[in-house]
């Protein structure tokens, strides 16, 4: 059984087809990254899966229940952390967590709040107004709030946007340690690469690719060789042009080719024969940025 299963999920706003047709199959315990350019339809999809917004087409099951027929049952089993968070600036983290627990009718709301404050490194800020917390801590509180009722499936909408690298890493440590299925949208592709077992890429209301980061990068099928030159009074692009797609930017020659490591000796020899002096060479495989660029408009 899948934790999240969608077929042809769609949402229209007047004339705008925000989500045209989304198919998903996420297994329990997976951490799936949801990527796509601005306006691709990610937030709209997350809001539908989290029962915040009704679909106008298609079907989905989340945590074993049908989205349309049993939204209350879905709601009890999921957590949803929206882009903007949902805390009140003058209340304290502990008050927010206890209130959330009471809304979910937890018999141990106060105890649960204290456990989450400790788990998310918020113990020392438990009684301070939320408005005085750093952005990183506020976001960790948002995620903790989504977890109060121990959901099986957690939807996170851009949890790390705007955070500094240290705060992002701390937040992700918490996400990684969760015992839940996590479906998370992000614009940080390096983050998705490092942390997600699979990623779904959305563009113009549809999923355009879905696989492990490794498989998606392999499918792009090219490496990039970046060569630093010390001056270039010869036409270095011409010298290597049949080995790959070459471009020169200042003293940096970039060659996109199928197998950079294998091609390297040939590239170096050609450039030497053409009288160019090489200062540095870096060969890098495809990144998720390359995948993203290749697949989205």
Ligand X SMILES: Nc1ncnc2c1ncn2[C@@H]1O[C@H](COP(=O)(O)OP(=O)(O)OP(=O)(O)O)[C@@H](O)[C@H]1O
Q: Which residues bind to ligand X, rule: CB under 6 A?
A: 13, 16, 18, 36, 38-44
Minimum CB distance to ligand X smaller for 11 or for 61:
11
Q: Whose structure tokens read 């113009």?
A: 204
Look at the block and give the residue holding tokens 């070459």.
246
CB of 182 to ligand X, least distance (A): 17
Quick check: helix, strand or coil at residue 74? helix
Residue with smaller CB distance to ligand X, 11 or 270 = 11
Task: Give the nearest distance from C-beta 289 to ligand X in angstroms.
Answer: 16
Q: How far apart are CA 272 and CA 284, in angstroms?
A: 21
CB of 196 to ligand X, least distance (A): 17
Q: 10 or 263, CB closer to ligand X?
A: 10
Task: Write out the DSSP string of 88-100.
Answer: -TTS-HHHHHHHH
Find the shortest distance in angstroms from Cβ 204 to ligand X.
Answer: 9
Nearest approach, Cβ of residue 39 and ligand X (Å): 4
**Full DSSP string of 165-215:** HHHHHHHHHHHHT-SSEEEEE-S-HHHHHHH-SEEEEEETTEEEEEE-HHH
**Residue with Cβ nearer ligand X (96 or 157):** 157
**Nearer to ligand X (CB atom), residue 38 or residue 105:** 38
Phi-psi region of 258 (alpha: psi -120 to 50; beta: other; left: phi over 0): alpha
């Amino acid at each position: 059984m899948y934790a999240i299963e969608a077929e042809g999920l769609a949402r229209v706003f007047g004339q705008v087809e925000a989500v045209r047709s989304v198919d998903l199959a996420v297994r329990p315990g997976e951490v799936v990254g949801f990527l796509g350019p601005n306006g691709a339809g990610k937030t709209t999809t997350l809001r539908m899966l989290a029962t915040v917004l009704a679909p106008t087409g298609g079907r989905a099951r989340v945590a074993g229940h049908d989205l349309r027929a049993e939204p209350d049952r879905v709601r009890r089993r999921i957590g949803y952390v929206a882009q903007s968070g949902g805390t009140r600036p003058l209340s304290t983290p502990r008050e927010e967590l206890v209130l959330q627990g009471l809304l979910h009718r937890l018999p141990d709301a106060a105890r649960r709040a204290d456990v989450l404050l400790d788990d998310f490194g918020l113990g020392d800020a438990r009684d301070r107004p939320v408005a005085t917390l750093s952005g990183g801590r506020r976001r960790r509180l948002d995620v903790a709030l989504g977890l109060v009722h121990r959901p099986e499936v957690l939807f996170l909408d851009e949890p790390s946007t705007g955070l500094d690298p240290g705060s992002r890493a701390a937040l992700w440590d918490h996400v990684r340690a969760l015992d839940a299925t996590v479906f998370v949208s992000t614009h940080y592709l390096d983050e998705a690469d490092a942390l997600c077992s699979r990623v779904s890429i959305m563009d113009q209301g549809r999923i355009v690719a879905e696989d492990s980061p490794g498989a998606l990068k392999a499918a792009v099928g090219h490496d990039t060789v970046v060569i630093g030159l010390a001056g270039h009074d010869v036409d270095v692009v011409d010298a290597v042009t049949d080995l790959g797609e070459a471009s020169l930017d200042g003293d940096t020659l970039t060659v996109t080719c199928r197998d950079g490591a294998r091609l390297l000796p040939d590239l170096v020899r050609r450039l030497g024969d053409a009288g160019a002096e090489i200062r540095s060479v870096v060969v890098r495989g495809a990144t998720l940025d390359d995948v993203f660029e290749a697949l989205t408009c």
